[in-house]
């Protein structure tokens, strides 16, 4: 006997998969961020920071940092039964920036992580997404010992458009990272809807 779909129970849900980039300056917590939420063992491409790199690799504030991402981080999180995010963490050091174009191919949106002690390190990432019209959200990774600034102060310092969300987060905390990801998906969806509207009208 052949059973119809309804008799076999609910049809399997084919989830929508979206690609999100996690970008920002050197040592701002991108690898930590992806690792905090990934439900698969995150793929990492870490290399030891070496003596030779000391003059260019500025570890002020993250002195305990021993490794750096040389290609990318990769992780996956199921936000809802029908919505899966693939996370791609970018390398932070400028000498690996040639990877960014490759990684941003097909991305729905991006999180730019910032450390308020070294705000200028994220200028390049903000410029990168603005220029390519890739919707992004700014996540302020709150390190201990770093002064807390209101979102508005960060927005002004980075000269962000007013529709760019700024949220405070802790890259080590799963729920906090999840909240940031929900925020970037919502922002990117709204951004694409507005963009489509302006194309068709
Ligand atoms: N206190 C504190 N430390 C953090 C936080 N996020 C990351 N760290 C630490 O900061 C250091 C840098 O974190 P990573 O996740 O490697 O930073 P990254 O942005 O991937 O660095 P690159 O790939 O080298 O650019 C690590 O030693 C982390 O343990 C945070 O929210 N609070
Ligand atoms: Mg990293």
- Tens digit of pLDDT per residue, the chain (201 long)? 555 555 566 777 889 999 999 999 999 999 999 999 999 988 898 988 876 566 667 787 888 888 988 888 999 999 999 999 999 999 887 778 788 898 999 999 999 999 999 999 999 999 999 999 999 999 999 988 888 889 999 999 999 999 999 999 999 999 999 999 999 999 999 998 888 877 666
- pTM exceeds 0.95 for this model: no
The response to whether residue 64 sits with its C-beta less than 6 Å from ligand 1 reads yes
3-state class (DSSP) for residue 157: helix
Please tell me the predicted confidence (pLDDT) of residue 199. 67
CA distance 132 to 100: 12
Please tell me the predicted confidence (pLDDT) of residue 167. 96
The response to whether residue 121 sits with its C-beta less than 6 Å from ligand 1 reads no
CA of 4 to the centre of ligand 1 (A): 52
Please tell me the predicted confidence (pLDDT) of residue 187. 97
* Dihedrals phi, psi of 109, to nearest 5 degrees: -170, 180
Domains of the chain: 16-200 (3.40.50.300)
Please tell me the predicted confidence (pLDDT) of residue 147. 82
Residue whose CB lies within 8 A of the most ligand 1 atoms, among 65, 139, 180, for a mutation test: 65
Please tell me the predicted confidence (pLDDT) of residue 4. 56
CA distance 111 to 30: 9
User: Within 13 Å of residue 176, how many CA atoms lie on the same side as its CB?
Assistant: 16
Structure tokens at 59: 């570890």
User: Are the beta carbons of 80 and 179 closer than 8 angstroms?
Assistant: no
Residue whose CB lies within 8 A of the most ligand 1 atoms, among 23, 24, 25, 27, for a mutation test: 27
What is the residue with the minimal CA distance to atom 8 of ligand 1? 29
Q: Which atom of ligand 1 is nearest to the CA of 66?
A: 27
């Amino acid at each position: 006997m052949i059973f119809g779909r309804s008799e076999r129970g609910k049809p399997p849900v084919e989830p929508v998969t979206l690609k999100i980039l996690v970008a920002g300056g050197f040592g701002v917590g991108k690898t930590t961020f992806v690792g905090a939420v990934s439900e698969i063992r995150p793929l990492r491409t870490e290399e030891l920071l070496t003596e030779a790199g000391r003059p260019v690799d500025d570890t002020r504030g993250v002195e305990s940092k021993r490794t750096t991402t040389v290609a990318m981080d990769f992780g996956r999180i199921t936000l809802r039964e029908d919505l899966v995010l693939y996370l791609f963490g970018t390398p932070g050091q400028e000498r690996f920036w040639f990877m960014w174009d490759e990684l941003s191919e097909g991305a729905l949106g991006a999180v730019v992580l910032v450390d308020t002690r070294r705000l200028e390190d994220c200028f390049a990432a903000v410029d990168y997404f603005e220029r390519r019209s890739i919707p992004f959200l700014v996540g302020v990774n709150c390190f201990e010992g770093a002064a807390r600034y209101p979102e508005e102060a960060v927005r002004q310092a980075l000269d962000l458009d007013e529709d760019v969300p700024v949220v405070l987060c802790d890259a080590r905390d799963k729920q906090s990272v999840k909240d940031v990801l929900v925020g970037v998906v919502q922002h990117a969806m709204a951004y694409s809807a507005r963009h489509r509207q302006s194309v068709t009208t």
